[in-house]
Amino acid sequence: MHYIRWLGICKYIFTFIIYCYYLPSSSNIVEKEITAISQTTIVIGPSDLLAQYRNSLQSRFDGMPVSVGGYYVPSIGDGLKGFHYDGLIDENRKEKLVIVISSEQRAKLKKDGFYTFIGTLEKGSMTNDGQLRLRMRVLELIGHDKTKRQFSAANYDLFKERIDRGFMNITNLLVKKLSKNERPDIVIIKGSGSIVDHDFADALGEADRKYDISWITPNLMSEKEIIDAVYKIDKQKCSLLVFMRGGGTGLEIFDSMELGEKVLESGLHFITAIGHKVEEPLLAKLSDRAFPTPTHFGKFLNELVQDIRKYQKELDDKKLSLALTRNELEAREEEIVTMRKSMAQQQTKNQHYVKTLLLTIAGVVLLLIVALWLK
């Protein structure tokens, strides 16, 4: 009996050893996933990745390595325990994904280079505007496109400063005021002889009543006049500064480093609506948001007003529905109170009838007893 029992125990031990020997380690699994992903051609941009978590705490990217490509922005400092918290900027938009990268991996990178990484996502705390902080821990560098550079070496430091300071969410900025029935103060700088305001006004439509729009018309060929116009704007009053221009030649002035520096120094939130240009000028890249044409900006403002109206209508409908429900509940409550009073009154009457009946029966019984006794 003991011999058979020991054979059974040895069998289980042997099976366990074989299982552990052939079981792939977690590092091997990760390596296989990295290899599989690196062989695919799908590369996600930082803004697309961040958008996955903008309105939800979960995404299809949870728990799996992802391939992300963008322009590399190194952070300042020596890092922490051999790791650095750098940034990856999207190709066309101004959102930065924080990447956690080792010093060894970092040594292979150059600022403003376009790189593709594989990494895993780490979720952090919520920001003040209710958005989830997201970062990617780099597992491997799988690509470097040397033909892509978003900025020249001279412009890089200026844009790095802009990235570190952060971009304003223009939609949130305007919606906060519109939802309070306040008129955002928008100052638009356009050329003195330009007619782009017509295209803008047509796209804006009747929504212009919701905005306080003023125009400044310097000579857009003069850098000094533009800078002077910017510094005359009341910072306390102005919600948004707009640089607006149509297509054509003479757009080189918006690539001026001095103009970009001075506009940033003003501290104003600003956007650009400079039309018919494939390559974004420096000022557009430094702006809080860049619209391709004045018409697009006008449509954007119009759609904000329409969205606010739609939201307020839905809110009013819900309030009305809630008020009706409340009235119905109050009416039902009154009915219940009335029913309770009626039931209490009926109960009192019933008790009175029972007492009367009992007294009547007692009287009859007493009379019968007396009658029997008399006989």
CB atoms near residue 295 (< 10 Å): 19
- 124 with 215, same domain? no
Task: Note the pLDDT of residue 42.
Answer: 55
Average pLDDT, the chain: 80
Task: Note the pLDDT of residue 317.
Answer: 75
Candidate from 46-55, 279-288, 341-350 with smallest mean pLDDT: 46-55
How many structural domains does the chain have?
A: 2
- 244 with 362, same domain? yes
In a domain, 223, yes or no: yes
Cα separation, 235 vs 239, in Å, equals 8
Task: Note the pLDDT of residue 23.
Answer: 45
What sign has the CA pseudo-torsion 103, 108, 111, 114?
Answer: negative
Residue after which a domain boundary falls, among 99, 133, 165: 165
* 25 — pLDDT class (breaks 50, 70, 90): very low
Instruction: Select, from the ranges 173-187, 309-323, 338-352, the one with the highest average predicted confidence (pLDDT).
Output: 173-187
In a domain, 129, yes or no: yes
In a domain, 90, yes or no: yes
Question: What's phi and psi for 374, nearest 5 deg?
Answer: -65, -35
Helix axes 196-204, 294-374, angle to 10 degrees: 10
- 102 with 195, same domain? no
- 248 with 284, same domain? yes
In a domain, 371, yes or no: yes
- 243 with 147, same domain? no
- 96 with 177, same domain? no
Cα separation, 302 vs 312, in Å, equals 15
3-state secondary structure of 49: helix
Smallest CA-to-CA distance from 255 within 154, 373, 127 is with: 154
- 215 with 132, same domain? no
Task: Note the pLDDT of residue 29.
Answer: 43
Candidate from 38-42, 51-55, 222-226, 344-348 with smallest mean pLDDT: 38-42
- 198 with 152, same domain? no
CATH number, position 233 = 3.40.50.2300
pLDDT exceeds cutoff 70 at 14: no
Cα separation, 78 vs 85, in Å, equals 10
- 286 with 197, same domain? yes
Residue after which a domain boundary falls, among 165, 193, 214: 165
Question: What's phi and psi for 37, nearest 5 deg?
Answer: -70, -40
Are the beta carbons of 23 and 45 closer than 8 angstroms? Answer: no
Q: Which domain holds residue 91?
A: 39-165
What sign has the CA pseudo-torsion 205, 207, 208, 213?
Answer: negative
Are the beta carbons of 172 and 129 closer than 8 angstroms? Answer: yes
In a domain, 160, yes or no: yes
Question: Hey, what are 162's tokens?
Answer: 């802009």
Cα Rg of the chain, angstroms: 37
Task: Note the pLDDT of residue 71.
Answer: 87
DSSP structural state of residue 277: -
Per-residue pLDDT tens for 289-326? 989 899 999 999 999 999 988 888 787 777 777 777 77
Are the beta carbons of 204 and 301 closer than 8 angstroms? Answer: yes
| Higher pLDDT pick, 144 / 6 | 144
77 vs 111, 114, 223, CA distance in Å? 14, 22, 36
In angstroms, the first-to-last Cα distance of the chain is 101
- 102 with 191, same domain? no
In a domain, 27, yes or no: no
In a domain, 21, yes or no: no
* Alpha helix segments (H runs only) across the chain: 2-22, 26-38, 46-52, 103-106, 153-165, 170-179, 196-204, 223-231, 257-266, 282-286, 294-374
SS (H, E, C) 302-361: HHHHHHHHHHHHHHHHHHHHHHHHHHHHHHHHHHHHHHHHHHHHHHHHHHHHHHHHHHHH
- 288 with 217, same domain? yes
Find residue 244's DSSP bridge partners: 273
In a domain, 133, yes or no: yes
| Higher pLDDT pick, 31 / 186 | 186
Per-residue pLDDT tens for 110-158? 887 888 888 888 887 766 666 677 888 888 888 776 655 555 556 667 7
* 27 — pLDDT class (breaks 50, 70, 90): very low
* Single-letter amino acid code for the residue at 224: K
Question: Hey, what are 62's tokens?
Answer: 């949870």
Residue after which a domain boundary falls, among 117, 148, 165: 165
- 182 with 87, same domain? no
Candidate from 11-20, 187-196, 294-303 with smallest mean pLDDT: 11-20
CATH number, position 78 = 2.40.50.140
